[in-house]
Amino acid sequence: MMMAIILGLTAASFVLSSSAGMGGSLILVPLLSLAMGTKEGVALAALLLACNNIVKLVIYRQTIPFKAAGMIVLGTIVGTAIGASLLVVVDEVIVSYTVVGVILATFALEYKGPLKARETLAPVLAVCAGGTSGFSGCSGPLKGVAIRSLGLERTYLVGAASVVSFAGDLMKSSIYAKAGLLDSQSLVFAGLCVPVMIASSLTGRYLNRRVGEKGFAILFWTVMAGYACRLVL
């Protein structure tokens, strides 16, 4: 019964990630952390999300703005390497609460800051997003604001989010595996989830195409609000 619940919620996280561009860790990280412990849960979530992002890259391959997202990808990789290395050695209580202040500052910038400032700070936000993602498993609002600053149409935004997320999750997974946070059982579970990833990502793409720009904006900021609430509460 527990495995069925985990698989069901894992599928929901993949659907959300494929439709909004991000949000998978919003469900997956607390779910797996509750089932396995914080560090192990964050590590397995990174592996699953990295595999799922491969599926998303294939599905959204025609709408991936590699050039536009290049600096954000680079910043995410640098930040993730730092954050994931910290996760291995830092106390779990610090892991749980350290990003709250950064999240609040990011929302203040999104709502009050001028567009030019957001565009200029996008690479910096990407580094911070990678750092908080590697450290706590959650980079949502930071990564979201960085990608939104590119001014992309929703399918291209999901494509950009997919390539950025894949780069960060791949970096995290390699560091976690080297630290012993991922084992053979993690790889087996990831393999079992591949059919779920494919079906869920196709469902998410269908939903992305069905909603208009306004509907997508509502979905996107609902995910961002969810990230903030999870971190604060």
pLDDT at 100 (0 to 100): 57
pLDDT at 70 (0 to 100): 83
pLDDT at 12 (0 to 100): 92
The domain total for the chain is 1
Q: Which domain holds residue 210?
A: 2-232
pLDDT tens per residue, the chain (233 residues)?
777 888 888 999 999 989 988 888 878 888 888 888 877 888 898 899 999 999 999 999 999 988 888 888 887 778 777 777 766 666 656 655 655 565 566 556 555 555 555 555 666 666 766 666 666 556 656 677 777 777 788 888 889 888 888 888 888 888 888 888 888 888 888 898 999 999 999 999 999 888 888 888 888 878 877 766 765 55
Helix (H), strand (E), coil (C) string for the chain? CHHHHHHHHHHHHHHHHHHHCCCHHHHHHHHHHHHHCHHHHHHHHHHHHHHHHHHHHHHCHHHCCHHHHHHHHHHHHHHHHHHHHHHHHCCHHHHHHCCHHHHHHHHHHHHHCCHHHHHHHHHHHHHHHHHHHHHHCCCHHHHHHHHHCCCCCHHHHHHHHHHHHHHHHHHHHHHHHHCCCCCHHHHHHHHHCHHHHHHHHHHHHHHHHHCCHHHHHHHHHHHHHHHHHHHHC
